[in-house]
Structure 1
Amino acid sequence: MNFDEWCEPWIKVTPERQEYFMTQLQREIQPGHSLYGIKKIKAVGERLDQDDVLFVLFGHPYYQLAVVHLTYTASQMSTQWPRTTFFLNTEDWMENCMKPDSEGYD
């Protein structure tokens, strides 16, 4: 996956923020959530104007990426949170998420 080009409001995650986001994700995911049980996930991007984080999913049967809207609370009562949108690959995410987000960003 190639993440060399970023369009605001999306930026590359620094190593320090990567660890922070991974810890927060683990706090929020509970049994029944669509990301629960995925063994290896890596934060690679964050949206500047929202609490959205782009994660690479290793070993997911269908998707390579997910944008997760972190809530910054402990696990929720509903498995709908944190809200998660899946993408087949980098091209899918760039075309259907990063580019549209960039067009509406000032």
Structure 2
Amino acid sequence: MEKTKAYDIIIKPVLTEKTYTMMQEGKYTFKVAPDSTKPEIKEAIEILFNVKVEKVTVMNVKAKPKRLGKSEGYRSGWKKAIVKLSEGYVIKELQGNL
């Protein structure tokens, strides 16, 4: 896989309080392309961050209904991947202030 293809699969990291606590266990969360598969996500993470991936868990986040006054609509749904790294590997770019 080329590096440009890997950038198309991994859209951005998800950084919340919960994901920061998961990072201490070696689990990192990413927003990924809706048509990506587990093997593609694993390969993309290994190429982009130069780490060894042990496990990939994928889930679809449903669109939420939102309303502003009379206007009604939906917040867009997206695909989330939780990546568990092998022992001893860390993604330093996402560690931040841990």
TM-score (norm 2): 0.31
Identify the structure with the greater helix proportion. 2
- Which is higher, the Rg of structure 1 or of structure 2? 2
Identify the structure with the greater strand proportion. 2
